[in-house]
Amino acid sequence: SPMPAPRITVVGTGYLGATHAICMAIMGFEVLGADIDPNKIELLRDGRVPFFEPGLPEKLGQALASGRLRFTTDFDEVAHFGDVHFLCVGTPQAAGSGAADLGYVEAAFTTLAARIARRALLVGKSTVPIGTAARLTRMIREISPIGSELELAWNPEFLREGFAVQDTLHPDRLVFGVESEWAESQLRAVYAPILGTGTPLIVADLATSELVKVAANSFLATKISFINAMAEVCEATGADVSLLAQALSLDDRIGRRFLQPGLGFGGGCLPKDIRAFRHRAEELGVGQAVSFLGEVDAINNRRRVRTVDLIRELAGGNLAGVRVAALGAAFKPNSDDVRDAPALDVARLLYLEGAVVTVYDPEANANAHRLYPDLNYAGSMAEAVAQADVVALLTEWEEFRQADPDYLAGLVRQRLIVDGRHALDASDYTSKGWEYRALGHPY
């Protein structure tokens, strides 16, 4: 007889967990989402997503209306309810080092392991240092009242902010890190609707599945820093990095994606993941193998400094008292996430040199304000740009791409623009009397 559909819990309702819980309910499973933060649970029960993600509020509404999705802060209830428990808590960068802080992950696994009294599978989804799953397996063995009836698997997640729903329902691939056939069969049951559409599956050991995630993010970060390193070379030679990227990308083996030059990568994943990977590789005695990730990080950070240089040069060599309109604060468009955001880092550096910085982001102003209360924040692009000496495009929101250079010219004090994301057509601006600068772009 067919196995009854497993009942699912999702522990941690941040970006990853909330999306996973909602999508699993949409796929037809009974889902219980849990968090230690009662405010998040309150919002989600009310049908409100605690962060900006296109399409997710509608999906939450559908999932709640189906009656298949509930939320709780009670971990006894979670332990009792679930057959398969997904653990989606954060692994931030530890204070004062590049290492990952595993405090939340360990707390989530041990909290559940102590309470689960029937056969169940704990599935880690967080991005963790290699070897964490094996260590957690030993930890839960000691705590669990049911011993080896409680199993552990690792199932890394590759969703991008801004595309969270699509990436969850239609992933490029699934990776199961498992230690038994039973664990594999449980994961196959949970992902049956996605596997049924032909999504490739890699079944691996725990360590490989942990490594897939950090290796993928390291590769993406390296690709971005590669083109940004070429931008540095372009700046010294008068070559044009946009044309270079275009020419490179026509080689299928290189590809077009993650080859956009500009201010570089930020957010809650790529920067911290490459640092944690380096740290872990050192511990494992293979630090040399990934020491290049230190260069990847350094290239990325130099882009922020170079953007400030361009703005200073345009302003005449000194930023004191210069009014800069900072367009964008989020680490990328279609997100309100300002963690390690290149845009805000540039705004901060400008401010430290005495510039009068006014930030406008369509979605991230509130989060940015919490992080940097000393910057000025405008309620619209027009308000930010009004009377500016220099306009700096730092996050390539569609609103900024579509802006009319004539309209902006009517608002500013001087027609000076730095395009930190290669998001604008330079000739659109120069033909309207603007001085245009971009990273790796000749002038």
Catalytic residues: 269
**Backbone region of residue 310 per phi and psi (left: phi > 0; alpha: psi in -120 to 50; beta: other values):** alpha
Q: Which is nearer to ligand UGA, 158 or 182 (CB)?
A: 158
Residue 161 interacting with ligand UGA (CB under 6 A): yes
> What's the CA gap between 203 and 310, in Å, rounded?
48
Contact 22, 63 (CB under 8 A): yes
Site residues for ligand UGA, window 92-131 (CB under 6 A)?
Answer: 127
The distance of closest approach from Cβ of residue 224 to ligand UGA in the complex, given in angstroms and rounded to an integer, is 4
The distance of closest approach from Cβ of residue 228 to ligand UGA in the complex, given in angstroms and rounded to an integer, is 8
Only one of the segments 27-35, 89-97, 116-124, 153-161 lies at the binding site for ligand UGA (rule: CB under 6 A); that segment is 153-161
Residue 158 interacting with ligand UGA (CB under 6 A): yes
Query: Please, what's the largest Cα pairwise distance for the chain?
Result: 77
Residue 270 interacting with ligand UGA (CB under 6 A): yes
The distance of closest approach from Cβ of residue 419 to ligand UGA in the complex, given in angstroms and rounded to an integer, is 13
The distance of closest approach from Cβ of residue 284 to ligand UGA in the complex, given in angstroms and rounded to an integer, is 21
Only one of the segments 34-42, 47-55, 142-150, 265-273 lies at the binding site for ligand UGA (rule: CB under 6 A); that segment is 265-273
Q: Which is nearer to ligand UGA, 113 or 164 (CB)?
A: 164
Secondary structure of the chain in HEC code, one letter for each residue: CCCCCCCEEEECCCHHHHHHHHHHHHCCCCEEEECCCHHHHHHHHCCCCCCCCCCHHHHHHHHHHHCCEEEECCHHHHHHHCCEEEECCCCCECCCCCCECCHHHHHHHHHHHHHCCCCEEEEECCCCCCCHHHHHHHHHHHHCCCHHHEEEEECCCCCCCCCHHHHHHCCCCEEEECCCHHHHHHHHHHCHHHHCCCCCEEEECHHHHHHHHHHHHHHHHHHHHHHHHHHHHHHHHCCCHHHHHHHHHCCCCCCCCCCCCCCCCCCCCHHHHHHHHHHHHHHCCCHHHHCHHHHHHHHHHHHHHHHHHHHHHHCCCCCCCCEEEEECCCCCCCCCCCCCCHHHHHHHHHHHCCCEEEEECCCCHHHHHHHCCCCEECCCHHHHHCCCCEEEECCCCHHHHCCCHHHHHCCCCCCEEEECCCCCCHHHHHCCCCEEEECCCCC
The distance of closest approach from Cβ of residue 102 to ligand UGA in the complex, given in angstroms and rounded to an integer, is 16
Residue 397 interacting with ligand UGA (CB under 6 A): no
Residue 311 interacting with ligand UGA (CB under 6 A): no
Binding mask 319-358 for ligand UGA (x = CB under 6 A): ------------xx--------------------------
Residue 209 interacting with ligand UGA (CB under 6 A): no
> What's the CA gap between 200 and 197, in Å, rounded?
9
Q: Which is nearer to ligand UGA, 265 or 429 (CB)?
A: 265
Only one of the segments 20-28, 109-117, 133-141, 216-224 lies at the binding site for ligand UGA (rule: CB under 6 A); that segment is 216-224
Binding-residue total with ligand UGA (CB under 6 A): 21
| Residue choice 177, 266, 405, 420 for contact with ligand UGA (CB under 6 A) | 266
Residue 264 interacting with ligand UGA (CB under 6 A): yes
Only one of the segments 4-12, 69-77, 155-163, 377-385 lies at the binding site for ligand UGA (rule: CB under 6 A); that segment is 155-163
Residue 150 interacting with ligand UGA (CB under 6 A): no
Binding mask 243-262 for ligand UGA (x = CB under 6 A): ---------------xxx-x
Q: Which is nearer to ligand UGA, 163 or 182 (CB)?
A: 163
The distance of closest approach from Cβ of residue 167 to ligand UGA in the complex, given in angstroms and rounded to an integer, is 7
Residue 222 interacting with ligand UGA (CB under 6 A): no
The distance of closest approach from Cβ of residue 239 to ligand UGA in the complex, given in angstroms and rounded to an integer, is 19
| Residue choice 33, 267, 405, 440 for contact with ligand UGA (CB under 6 A) | 267
Residue 153 interacting with ligand UGA (CB under 6 A): no
The distance of closest approach from Cβ of residue 409 to ligand UGA in the complex, given in angstroms and rounded to an integer, is 27
Q: In what order do the strands lie in the sheet with 120-124?
A: 69-72, 31-34, 8-11, 84-87, 120-124, 150-154, 174-177, 201-204
Query: Footprint of ligand UGA on this chain (CB under 6 A)?
Result: 127, 157-161, 217, 220, 224, 258-260, 262, 264-267, 269-270, 331-332
